[in-house]
A = this chain, B = another copy of it.
């Protein structure tokens, strides 16, 4: 069918077919903090068991998540991002920044982001707002907000 072919040819459409799902985005958000067990993912996504199973299966099939055994007795598994899954980091950072700018909320955000290269708190974006250097998964660390930290000099 022509319409389907056109949609598939577009990379944004392919990405939309994968991550155009609230629970998948919430699972990704959790997995960027590290490997997660099923019950941990259930807590952070608020997804019912069957929904979460379905979404994890889709993520595994798409190659962005792998299921790994982390314990022998009893046998226990967790879920972790593959290299392809890690490549969704800029997308989540962009969504983060969008929501901070355009979907304000009275509650203290649960995390701030520090750019470990320059050492400063930074806002999710494609470059560090403090030093202008590119941000990757390797040079940022998530920090839980105990209180809302003062974030200076952010555009």
Contacts and interface: CB of A to CB of B under 8 A. Distances in A.
Interface in A78-116: 84, 87-88, 90-103, 105, 107-111
Contact of A9 (B17, B110, B125): B110
Contact of A90 (B22, B108, B125): B125
A12 B31 CA distance: 13
B18 A110 contact: no
A16 interface: yes
Nearest to A5: B107
Complex copy number for this chain: 2
Nearest to A63: B102
A149 interface: no
Contact of A20 (B12, B25, B88): B25
Given A98-B90, A126-B126, A11 B103 contact: yes
A62 B99 CA distance: 11
A24 interface: yes
